[in-house]
Structure 1
Amino acid sequence: MMSDFNLKIPVLKVEQPIGTFFVAGIRARDLVEISYSDVRRLAEDQRDLEKYLGIQRPVSKRRINEIKKYIEGDDSTFPTAVVLAVDEKCVVLEKVTDEFYYLSLSAYYPEEGIDEDPIPKGKIAKVIDGQHRIAAFMDENDNWTFDDWARIFDINVSIFVGADVAEQANIFATVNLAQTKVNRSLVYDLTELAKTDSPFKTCHNVAVVLDGEPTSPFFERIKRLGTATPGRKREPLTQAAFVESLVRFISADPVVDRNMLIEGKRPRRADHAELLNRPFRNLFLDGKDLDIAEIVYNYFEAVKSKWPNSWERLDVTGNLLPKSNSFKALMKYLKEDVYLTAVGDDIGRIPSKEEFLPFFDGIELKDEDFTARNFVPGSGGQAMFLKLLRGQVKLEDIVEE
C-alpha cells in the first residue's frame, strides 16, 4: 500500500555493466526528507554498508560544517551525483521513451496481514555516497537549514532500484575506493583561474612567484600539481603544504572570506589583536601578494644561509630540510616566534634576510643532522624539528631516544 506522499521526478535510464540505474535532479529539501535517518544522525550511527564492508570510517562534523559554508556561496555547486538505493516497493516507473521515464517515490505500508516492514517517507532512499552533502542542508535537530533561502538547489542523483545490500556494498566500494581523489595541490593550482580574490588564491600566487623566480630559494622546488612537473628532477615541497601553511597567516576561515569577496563584500581589516594571529591579513586585503612573497623569500633565504648544504641536497634520502614537513615547522616558527618579534608594532613590514638571521643563530643543528634517524618521517619529525627551533629540546636528547 502506498502512502499519500508522492515525489514524481523525470529520470534518464542508464545501462552500465553493474546494471540499470536512473539519473535525475532532486530538490535538496526533498532529498533531505526522503533520506535514511542514519544519514541524518551521522555522528551517532554507523551505516549498514560500512558494517557489511567492515569499514569503521567516522563521519566528520568538520567536513559537514565546511560544506555548509560552501553552500552559502554564490557559486556553490555539487556537479557529482549523490548515489541512492531505493526499495522497489517505493517506486513506480512510467515509461515515456526507451531512455526517459517518470519515477514516482512513495512511502510503503504493507496491507494488513502481510508480514513486511513499512518504509516511511524518511527512509525511502538509502544514501550510498554523498552523506556529507545531504547532512550539510540540515541542522543538528535534522531540520532543513535553508527555509528562507531564495535560491533553488537541485542535487543530481543516481538511483539504484531494488539493489540488495551486497550490490549496494559493491557500489559503495567502487565510488569510495576505486576512484582517484583529486590532489589538493591541483585544487589550489586551479584557484589561479578564479576571477575573485581569496586567501587560497593569494597563497597560490605566492607559491607560483617563488617557484618561478630563479633567485628564489624555492626555484622549481614546488610540486604544483601534486605530481612531478615534466623536466624537473626534484620537487621536495608540495603546493598543498605551501598553501595550507601560508593561509594561516591570512585567514581564520578562508571559505567565508572567499564567499564574501564573491558577493562583492569586503572583509573588515584586522585590528592589532587579530594581526597577532594573522599577521599577513591586511597585506592580503590590500592586494599585496608580492609583499607576502618577499617576506617568505627573505625568511627562507635566512634558512638557506644557516644550512646551505642540506638545503641544496635534494637527492639525499632522509634529508628533512627541503621537504614539506620541515617547511611546515619553519612556517609555524615564522608565524608564532619570528615575524612579530622582528617587526614589533609595524605588522606588515617586510624584514630583510639579515633581520631573520639572528633567529637561527642559537640553533645547534648542523647540515649533517637532518637525517631520518633524528627526525622520523611524518608529524613526529615535524614536531621535533619545531621544538629544536624553539630551543625546547637539544639534539643530544633526540639521539639518546
Structure 2
Amino acid sequence: MSSYSVEEFAGNGALKDILDALTADGWDDVPTLKMMSAADMEGLKLTDAQRDALELRTYLHDRNLMQYADQLEESGKRLPELLSTTPGDLVSQYGMRRGHVARFVDRSSACGVILPSDLTLPARKRPGDADSDVSSFVSRISDPSDAHAGSLPGHRRRPSHESSNFRHFDSDGNKTDDGGDKAVPIKGIVANGDTPPRLCGLVQPKRVTNDVTPLSILEKIYVQKLVPEHKAGISPWVDGELKLPPPMKASELWARNTVLLLCVRRPGCVMCRAEAHRLYARKSIFDSLGIQLVAILNEQIDFEVKAFWPRYWGGMVLVDRNRDFFKALGGGQLLTDNLCTGFFFNSHARRNWKRATATGFDYNTTGEGTIKGGLYIVGPGKTGVAYQFIERSFGDWAPLEEVLSVCSNLQILKTKPQKKENLTIHQEEDSTTAWEESDV
C-alpha cells in the first residue's frame, strides 16, 4: 500500500533520522519528497545512503509496493542492482509475491508525477540557499560508513466550454509544451458529459444540472474541520477521538487563495479512495500553483476518517453535516442513486469500479454511499466557481487535464496584472434563477 503518511514513507531506513529536519525545511509531505531532485539532495547534503533510500522508496511508492521498502533498503543494494535481481531471488530473499515481482521489474508499469519546468516547489531553494540547519543536522547524524558507490487516468469527458480556456495538460496531469503562458479570462464551467444509459435505455438516469453553482450559495455553507493537512508528527486524535473546532464558514477556505474541494461520496469506497489518492499525488503541482486541497465528507465516522487520512489523502478533511455542498452539486437537492440501477444496471459505473480495484486499495461498505459527490475549484475572494465536476455515475473522476489547466489559468490571472472585472469569473446572469435559498 502506498500511504501518504510521511512516517510510513520514511519507514525504518536512512530517511527516518532526518525526517524532522526535512519537515522543518518544507519537505513535509510525500508528494513533495518524491519530487526532490539531485540538485535538491546536493543542497541538503544528503548522504549516498539517504539518496538511494529516497530513490528506492519513490519507485516503490509509485508502484504500490511500499510493504517491501524496509527489507529492500536493508539489503544495502541500490535500485538498479535490485531491478537486475532475478524474479526467483526477489521471491526467496525478500518474500516478494510473484504478482508484485512483475510490477516491480516493469519500469513502464507506473510513472511518477512530473513537475512542469515553469513551476517551482515551495520547498525548493535557489542554488546556494539550502537551509544550513538541515545540512548540519544531516551531517551530524550521518555515519560515513553508510556511503557506498554509486495515476490511473481518469475519464476523458469533453468540457462544455471552448478548449482555449485551458492551458495544456495531458490526461495524466503532465503539462504539454503548446499551452504557453497567456492568461485567458475564465468563465465558470461545469464539466460536461452525457449520463450513460442503463439497462439498454429502459432505466432513465436522473437529470444533472449544467449550471455553475453561484458563489452566493457556497458562501452560506458551514463546515467543521475533522483533520488538518498532514505533517510528520501531527496527530489530530486525542485519546482516540477527534476534537473538533466550532463550525466555520466555507468562504474562509477561499478567502485568499484558490481551493480545490473534493466532495467525497464515501471515504471507505475504493473508487473514492482511488480518486483522492490520484489527486493528492499531484500535491506538489497544486502547491506550486497556490492551490489548497480540501476533502469534504457528508458524515463523520471517526474510524473511517482515520482509515482515509493520511493514507489516501493527506490534505485537510472537513465534514459538511447538512450536506450543503452535495446539494449544491445537485442544483439544490441531493443527487442520489441506488446500487441496483446506479451500479449493477450501469456498465459505466462497473468499469469505474474495475479501474479503481486495479489499484489494490482496501475498501469497505461502511457509511452513506448513495449521495453522489464531485469537485469544485473556487477562486480567491469573490472570484467565484471556476470549475465544477459532478459524479454522474458512481466512481466518475474529474479529468486531470481539465482540473490542472483551470488551476494553472487561475494562477496566471492572479500573478499578472488584470483589469478588476477580469478577476471575477463570469457567470450567466440568470444562473441563480433555478436556486432557492431554502434548497441549500
TM-score (norm 2): 0.23
Q: Higher relative contact order at CA 8 Å, sep ≥6: structure 1 or structure 2?
A: 2
TM-score (norm 1): 0.24
